[in-house]
Structures are given as C-alpha cells and as structure tokens.
Amino acid sequence: MRSVLSWLPWVGLVVAVGVVGGVLGLTGVFGHPTTDRVVFANDASLARTAAALTCPAGAEVTRLQAGDRVVAVARSEDSSYLGVRNPQNIAQTVWVSRDVVAIDPGQPSIATLPVSSCPTVSILMPPTKHSSTTKPTTPTKPTAPTKPPKPKPLDKTAPKLAVPTAGTDTVCTANSNPPHSDTITVTASDNVGVASVAISWGGAVSGNGHMTHAAGSTWTYLYNVGSSNAAGTITFQLQAKDAVGNLSSPTKVSITQAGCVG
C-alpha cells in the first residue's frame, strides 16, 4: 500500500506538465504560424486609348488615353477585363479591356488580383399584414428634394517640366565604339498629379515614345541607337500631361550622334 501511495504525486506532476505544454502550444509560445502576403495591385500603363466602363462589359464612364499610368486592382472572372484606378479620379475604379493594359515588368501575375463583376440588384419586399379591418392610411408629407452637390471646380492648371538633361552629350553609331544609348531625364510636377510625359526626337534620326516614371517627380527615357549609322544632332522634345488632359509647355535637350573612334 505504501509503494502505491509513493508514486501518486508523480502522476499529478506529469498531468500538470502536459496541460501547461498544451496551453503554451496553443498560445504560440513555441512558434507563430507564418502567413503569405498576397499582392492585390499591379502597376501598369495603357497601350492605346480605350473606353473606361462601370464594370466588366458595363456602360462607358470616360475614355483613358494611351500612355496613362494606372494601377490594376481587380479582374473579371475570365480575366478579359481589368479594374483599374481612374487616373482622372483615383477614388473610382473603372474597367478596361485586358488587351489595352501593359503590366509593368516585374509585377505579379494578374491571376493574383481579386475577381469582381457587375453588381446584381435584389429587391426585398416586406411581408404583407392581413387584417379584418382595413384602416385608411394617413398620407405622408412629401420630402423636400435634396440639392445636388456643387460640382468640383475643373482643374485648369497645366503640369510643369524642368529643363531635361542627357546622360551623355554624344552617342556612337551602330558600327562604331560605344556608348550606343543615352538616358534622358526630366522633373515633372502638377497641382494634382502628372499622368504621362511624352517624348519625341528629330534631326539625324526621328522617333517618339513615352517616358517612364522613375521615382517622385523624376521621369526617364532610354534612347538606343539600334542599327542606325546616321550622324548629326538629335533634339529631344518633352511634354507632360495631367489626368484631365492639361499639357505643359514643351522642353528640349540635344545630343550628338557620331561615328566614334576609340
């Protein structure tokens, strides 16, 4: 009998340790679960002018211009439409056809975006009360019409461009020594926000494109000689645009393209 009583306290100790261990495990003392971060937005730009809709295949709200910067936040069930922030009103989501949206390199797949669709409207009718005695209803006073909100003043302030700069004054033709490319940089500002900066060039060679928003108010464009062996002066002209279409005054910078000998 004495031997049985001698090991009973040890049984209680083992049970207590098991309970404490279970509580610690549940509270996360021995480790916390990890969670994956899901990205719900993609930086992008429009490849061409397109209609902006209220929802996938819905009514047209406005039109977005080629080169407008947008943020994709949703997709339709078949991914044929993307929901993007309206650059003319960033609080509003509009829908554009997937084939006009150029997702920036390095962005997550559009498959990571949440699926959305046109909302459906359901009307719930209150239950009808039946009474043996019908009482006449008291007419209600008509409510006074609410005044429509005053429209916001139209943004008439055009963006501003600083004097652009070139990374090098001279680039070399295709059949000569490098450098064969040059980076054009400019600072753009606006009272609301700069939507895009267009760039075109002429002289020894001609062409056009859209600058890339690098960071803050800085925009850049990488000019490549490619297969060109033309020599002479190349003048780049830049012009900024805001969300409502106001255009800045154009600014210019020139470089020389020549057959370099090293």
Predicted local confidence at residue 44, as pLDDT:
87
Whole-angstrom distance, CA of residue 186 vs CA of residue 164: 4
188 burial type by CB count under 10 A (0-12 exposed, 13-18 middle, 19+ buried): buried
Question: What's the pLDDT tens digit per position in 169-181?
Answer: 999 999 998 999 9
User: Could you count the other beta carbons within 10 Å of the beta carbon of residue 163?
Assistant: 10
**Residue with the two structure tokens 């069930």:** 77
Task: Using the CB atoms, write b or e for 122-145: b if 16+ within 10 Å.
Answer: eeeeeeeeeeeeeeeeeeeeeeee
Q: What is the per-residue pLDDT across 48-80, written as a single tens digit (0 to 9) for each?
A: 999 999 999 889 989 999 999 989 999 999 999
The predicted-structure confidence for 121-157, as pLDDT tens digits, reads as follows: 666 666 666 555 667 778 788 888 888 888 878 889 9
Tokens describing residue 2:
């004495």
- The pLDDT assigned to 105 comes to 92
Q: Look at residue 134 in the predicted model and tell me its pLDDT.
A: 65
Check pLDDT > 80 for residue 1.
no
Residue 206 one-letter amino acid: S
In the structure, what pLDDT confidence band is assigned to residue 3 with cuts at 50, 70 and 90? very low
> Which of left, alpha, beta for 132 (phi over 0: left; psi -120 to 50: alpha)?
alpha
Kindly list the distances between the CA atom of residue 50 and the CA atoms of 45, 58, 111, 245, in Å, as whole numbers in the listed order: 12, 14, 22, 15
Question: What band does 243 get if pLDDT is binned at 50, 70 and 90?
Answer: very high
Rounded to an integer, what is the distance from CA 174 to the centroid of its chain? 37
Residue 6 has a pLDDT of 43
Count the neighbouring beta carbons within 10 Å of the beta carbon of residue 176: 16
The percent of residues in the chain predicted with pLDDT above 70, rounded, is: 79
* CA 173 centroid distance within chain: 37
SS3 4: helix
Structure tokens at 128: 């009808």
Strand pairing of 50-53 and 60-64? antiparallel
The rounded percent of the chain whose pLDDT value lies above 90 is: 56
pLDDT at 262: 66
Which H or E run contains 26?
A: helix 2-27
Mean pLDDT of 82-102: 91
Other CB atoms within a 10 A radius of the CB of residue 10 amount to 9
Lowest mean pLDDT: which of 16-20, 184-188, 197-201, 205-209?
16-20
pLDDT at 57: 85
